[in-house]
Amino acid sequence: MKIFKAKKIIKIALVLAIASMVAACGTAPENGNGETAAPPEPAVTTPPPPHQGMIPPAVDPLQPIQQTTPPDEPIPDLFPPSGYYFTLTAEERAAYERLVAELSTDAFYGLSPISVAKIYIQAGIDGEWEAEFIAHNQESMRMTREDWQELHEVDQEWSVIESRQSLANWVFPFLDDAEVIIDGDRATLHFYSVPDPEELEFDPDFPGEPHVFNLIRNDRGIWEARFRPHAFDVE
């Protein structure tokens, strides 16, 4: 039995959840030869899930939310196990709990860009929408707190929150191994998702889909997630 049996149901349920959870991320483009190239300034900010045909590109969170009727009950977690698990270290967990309690990126002081990215993602997984909002560099943020809360509430109407951890287990378990490129007060993390089993059938060496995560160091020297909602959003 194919593990992606529930594709059509998941497409509807998770599109807004992905827009919220990975708003600061992106995919690496290809060069003219069709090969993956790491750009000096990543352009895509919302990565696709590990299985490209499974969920359509996330909606633009700056546009008004489409008023559709949610299901009577949130759609259950239909992601198959990835074989990997996205988790925080003890230090990252302590900083995450401080972020949730204080709602201040002072909790990120002294942390690496990778650790900040992981804490931001964990806030999305747990539905801690205020902590997720605060984790952004506010100068790059183009949504209000109320807008962010509304997206969170819509996500919860459509799908159970457990699906966020399952999705993270596909997209982010290798984030600790990301290549970190720092240019002044900008940081870009280049990493891969868990390889799609269907892709591996054609290419046993397929590394997984490439992704990027963008951060900004604020005037206090603290790394924060960079908000870039638009695909191919170039300054």
Q: For residue 181, what are the β-bridge partners?
A: 188
Q: Which residue has the tokens 């596909």?
A: 170
Q: Which amino acid is at 23?
A: A
Q: How far apart are CA 70 and CA 125, in angstroms?
A: 20
pLDDT confidence of residue 192? 95
Q: How far apart are CA 205 and CA 8, in angstroms?
A: 28
Per-domain boundaries in the chain: 7-26+44-49+87-225
pLDDT confidence of residue 229? 57
- The answer to whether the Cα torsion of 122, 154, 63, 26 is positive or negative is positive
Q: pLDDT tens digit string along 163-193?
A: 999 999 999 999 999 999 999 999 999 999 9
pLDDT above 90 covers a percentage of the chain that reads 47
pLDDT confidence of residue 42? 37
DSSP 8-state secondary structure symbol assigned to residue 177: G
Asked whether 46 and 57 are in contact (CB, 8 A), the reply is yes
Q: For residue 191, what are the β-bridge partners?
A: 211
Q: pLDDT tens digit string along 94-110?
A: 999 999 999 999 999 99
**Mean pLDDT calculated for residue range 192-216:** 89
pLDDT confidence of residue 141? 87
Q: Among 232, 91, 74, 89, which residue's Cα sits nearest to residue 163?
A: 74
Q: How far apart are CA 131 and CA 122, in angstroms?
A: 10
pTM > 0.85: no
State the chain's mean pLDDT as an integer. 76
* Banded pLDDT at 143 (limits 50, 70, 90): confident
Query: Residue 224 is inside which H or E element, if any?
Result: strand 223-225
**Mean pLDDT calculated for residue range 117-126:** 96
CB atoms within 10 A of CB 101: 10
pLDDT confidence of residue 196? 84
Q: How far apart are CA 19 and CA 78, in angstroms?
A: 18
**Mean pLDDT calculated for residue range 152-157:** 85
Enter the tokens of residue 183.
């240019």
Q: pLDDT tens digit string along 46-87?
A: 333 333 333 333 334 444 445 467 777 888 888 899 999 999
**Mean pLDDT calculated for residue range 13-35:** 46
**Mean pLDDT calculated for residue range 121-142:** 93
Enter the tokens of residue 167.
């999705």
* Banded pLDDT at 200 (limits 50, 70, 90): confident
Q: Angle formed by the axes of helices 90-102 and 113-126, to 10°? A: 60
Direct distance between the N- and C-terminal alpha carbons of the chain, in angstroms, rounded to an integer: 45
pLDDT confidence of residue 24? 52
Contacts of 196 (CB under 8 A, 6+ apart): 50, 51, 52, 206, 208, 209
